[in-house]
């Protein structure tokens, strides 16, 4: 995978995992720190694994109306490949410079093994709910959406429909962020509606869209996007 360019924000994970041994740290500290036995125990517990593993991706905008698959591969790269528990998620999330993402660039969080592109076999028949979120609320909105996704809250809502939520994305725009929730079955109207209801019901009240018009949020199947067919055909070459 190509090395990230210097003009894009890079991930620098510096904080230790809560599962790492902290014995030396606690013995070196004075009693004045008042670290309780309860806190020490919790700090050493291994976080419960997530149902699925997840990958952070960075998608750099090309500035061109259409790009070859080769060019796209150069613009899309992995930030962190294997997020298996909530502690690892926060190590990545809390150390990423979200405020430095350039306009029209995108960060994706997708199930491990699924690329955040329309033509991926898991995505090709799917679509996504897209939310236009004001900048002042965008990071909080994406944080909640990401947690609901990786904790399988969305997945649980779609289980009976045999559908899957494959990932979430945040893309920087001029006054807003375009935040997307991707599902596998764009033909299942009931699943699409259930996903919408779950997103709106589980978001904090202050983050919910103020209206239901297309200027606020909407659903779009991938095959409705300009360039979809070209992307699919290019993936077969």
CATH number reported for the structural domain that contains residue 172 in this entry: 3.30.760.10
The β-bridge partners of 180 are 130, 169
Count of structural domains, the chain = 1
Assess if residue 139 is contained within a domain. yes
Chain mean pLDDT for the chain? 85
Residue 192 has pLDDT above 90, yes or no: yes
pLDDT of residue 95: 96
Domain holding 201, by residue range, is 54-62+69-235
pLDDT of residue 56: 98
Assess if residue 169 is contained within a domain. yes
Assess if residue 160 is contained within a domain. yes
Assess if residue 44 is contained within a domain. no
Assess if residue 21 is contained within a domain. no
Assess if residue 152 is contained within a domain. yes
Residue 24 banded pLDDT, cuts 50, 70, 90: very low
Tens digit of each residue's pLDDT (9 = 90 or more) over 51-104: 999 999 999 987 654 445 546 667 999 999 999 999 999 999 999 999 999 999
Assess if residue 134 is contained within a domain. yes
Q: CA 78: distance to chain centroid?
A: 12
The sign of the dihedral angle between the CA atoms of 187, 189, 194, 199 is: positive
Q: pTM for the complete prediction?
A: 0.81
Assess if residue 46 is contained within a domain. no
């Amino acid at each position: 995978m190509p090395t990230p360019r210097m003009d894009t924000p890079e991930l620098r994970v510096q904080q230790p995992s809560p599962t790492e041994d902290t014995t030396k740290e606690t013995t070196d500290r004075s009693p004045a720190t008042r670290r309780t036995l309860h806190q020490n125990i919790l700090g050493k517990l291994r976080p419960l694994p997530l149902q699925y593993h997840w990958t952070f991706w960075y998608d750099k905008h090309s500035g061109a109306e259409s790009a070859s698959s080769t060019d796209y591969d150069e613009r899309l790269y992995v930030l962190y490949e294997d997020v298996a528990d909530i502690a690892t998620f926060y190590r990545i999330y809390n150390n990423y410079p979200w405020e430095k993402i350039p306009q029209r660039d995108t960060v994706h969080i997708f199930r491990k093994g699924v690329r955040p592109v329309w033509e991926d076999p898991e995505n090709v028949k799917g679509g996504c709910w897209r939310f236009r979120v004001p900048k002042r609320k965008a990071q909080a909105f994406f944080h909640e959406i990401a947690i609901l996704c990786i904790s399988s809250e969305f997945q649980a809502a779609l289980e009976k429909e045999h559908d899957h939520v494959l990932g979430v994305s945040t893309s920087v725009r001029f006054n807003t962020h375009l935040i997307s929730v991707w599902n596998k079955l764009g033909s299942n109207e009931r699943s699409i509606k259930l996903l919408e209801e779950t997103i709106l019901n589980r978001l904090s009240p202050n983050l919910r869209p103020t209206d239901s018009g297309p200027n606020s949020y909407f659903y779009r199947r991938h095959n409705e996007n300009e360039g979809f067919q070209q992307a699919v055909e290019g993936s077969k070459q």
